[in-house]
Structure 1
Amino acid sequence: MITFIVGAMIKDIEFLKNVISESSEARFIIACDKGYEHVIAAGAKPDVIIGDFDSASQGEPEPACSGKIIKLNPIKDDTDIEAALRYAFDNTEGDITILGALGGRVDHSLGNIALLGMGLKEGRKVYLVDETNRLQMIGAGMKLVIKKDEQYGKYVSVFPYYGSAVVTMEGFKYPLKNAKLEGFNTLTVSNEIVDTNATISLECGYLLVCECGE
């Protein structure tokens, strides 16, 4: 099963419609706040709607819009997307793709990127995806293989997260061998895959991996 979490920052309803409809796996859709309006507009029905509904233009949805509605107190310590992610960990299996979580307010985007680390702690693969970007995070001892003909966009950029990281990158235009990345520079921005498969191996630390288009 693949779980889709849909936030408010959807710029293109056709993009959302295509991502949801092209999934070959069984799907479970969690809509966050205004995200439920986007899911309905894309011709789908959320399995769960969760949020404080402070951004939804139509207010709290009617019960007919969803199998389950979870109303959150607007005075809380986590965002609607984090609450949805925790719900997904407890009630679903398989990969989780978060849509509509990038763009708009920078603080929200950075907060949503930080949520990728929750997936590592839970042993679940979590992606942040929009029209031109797919982000994921790997931890120490993990190896990520990206097939050139399946990559998302043209470029692959990596960033150490929450401290330094020791990284080996093979199959890239600019390879690395046990390189210690400490951030505060743009050394690992806009790399390109040159082999059939590219491999990112992480010896220690956390690494944010961004597949990006133009």
Structure 2
Amino acid sequence: MEKKVNDITRRHSALLVLNGEFPDSALFDALLEHHSLIICADGAANILLNMGFWPEVIIGDLDSVEIPAGKEIARGTIVIENGDQYSTDFEKALLYLSDKGFKEISIVGLKGGRFDHQITNLSILCQFSSEFNFRLFDNDGIGYVLTDSKSSMTTNMPANTVISLLPLTKVTGIQTRRLKYPLDNEALQFGDRNGQSNASLGGEISISLKSGSLICYILMPSWWTQREMYSKLINCY
């Protein structure tokens, strides 16, 4: 029997599936349980459809979506064809979510595939970072986008957990607590200074900024399962 994504009880936030590397089933199942809307950007829908999942929304120019042989579009799934060639399918999905009033957005499939697509995706994250609270999931870890409007995060981390601070713009006033290489009212900037591969000292860590946009990427320790990672980190931001 096909499993409709919207048969699962979740909180009011959206899971946006892009056409990059797809997470393993444990992580994806955990994400399904916590989101009230599943939206696919064009060809990303193919992975879900082949798994027997029908998202609530498929949006894009629809040049890559392939309905599996012998199947029809499930009742309740909204398919939106938008042929605008001056915006990407990622942007079209975010504009749809903005119109529907969503603020909490988790993303899978951001990385992987063509290099130019990955760089463009980062640019789009920066473009929309003041409008949404983004969480980025892959099989290696989780990223939080911190901005002027969502400028801090706090969570408990085991000692030696790798944490990278990756600036999307010039970022000022960065303060960290309980990191191996602390930052005290300092700046990071793409193309100038980055914050890759810092590490937690254990206990409660915190990261904040005054201006700009950065990704705080937390590497998943090998002994965590993806479900444990999600449950631990979903509410720290």
What is the TM-score when the length of structure 1 is the normalising length? 0.82
Kindly indicate whether the alpha-carbon contact (under 8 Å) linking 2:157 and 2:202 is maintained by their aligned counterparts in 1.
Answer: yes
The whole-number CA distance in structure 1 between the counterparts of 2:28 and 2:189 is 39
Change (3 A) 1:120 1:185: closer
For 1:94 and 1:164, the matched residues in 2 are separated by 22
Structure 1: runs of 5+ lacking an equivalent? none
Identity %: 25
Aligned ranges for residues 164-203 of structure 1 at < 5 Å?
A: 164-184=171-191, 188-203=195-210
The alignment status of 1:111 with 2:90, answered yes or no, reads no
**Residue of structure 1 in register with 2:18 after alignment:** 7
Following TM superposition, by how much is the alpha carbon of 1:16 offset from its aligned partner in structure 2, in angstroms? 5.8
Task: Give the aligned partner of residue 135 of structure 1.
Answer: 143
What is aligned with 2:233? none
Counterpart of 1:20 (choices 5, 16, 31) is 31
* Deviation (angstroms), 1:158: 0.9
Residue identity in the other structure for 1:176: L
Deviation at 1:127, TM superposition (A): 1.9
Q: Partner of 1:9: helix, strand, or coil?
A: coil
What is the RMSD of the two structures over their aligned residues, measured on CA atoms? 2.8
Contact 1:167–1:176 (Cα < 8 Å) also in 2: yes
1:49 aligns with 2:71: no
Contact 2:169–2:189 under 8 Å retained in 1: no
Displacement of 1:205 in angstroms is: 2.5
Q: C-alpha offsets along residues 145-190 of structure 1, whole Å, 9 cap, x if unaligned?
A: 13216xxx93211123222423111111111111222343565211
Judging changes above 3 Å, is the alpha-carbon distance between structure 1 residues 86 and 3 closer, same or farther for their aligned structure 2 residues?
Answer: same
| C-alpha distance 100-182 of structure 1, shift in aligned 2 (>3 A) | closer
Checking the alignment, whether the CA contact within 8 Å between 1:139 and 1:202 is kept in structure 2 is: yes
Q: How far off its partner does 1:101 sit?
A: 1.9
Which residue type is aligned with residue 81 of structure 2? K
Deviation at residue 71 of structure 1 after TM alignment: 0.8
- Partner amino acid, structure 1, of 2:208: S
> Structure 1 counterpart of 2:213, which letter?
Y
Counterpart for residue 92 of structure 2: 83
User: How many Å separate the matches in 2 of 1:187 and 1:163?
Assistant: 10
* TM-score for both structures, normalised by structure 2: 0.75
Structure 2: which 5+ residue stretches go unaligned?
Answer: 1-11, 222-237
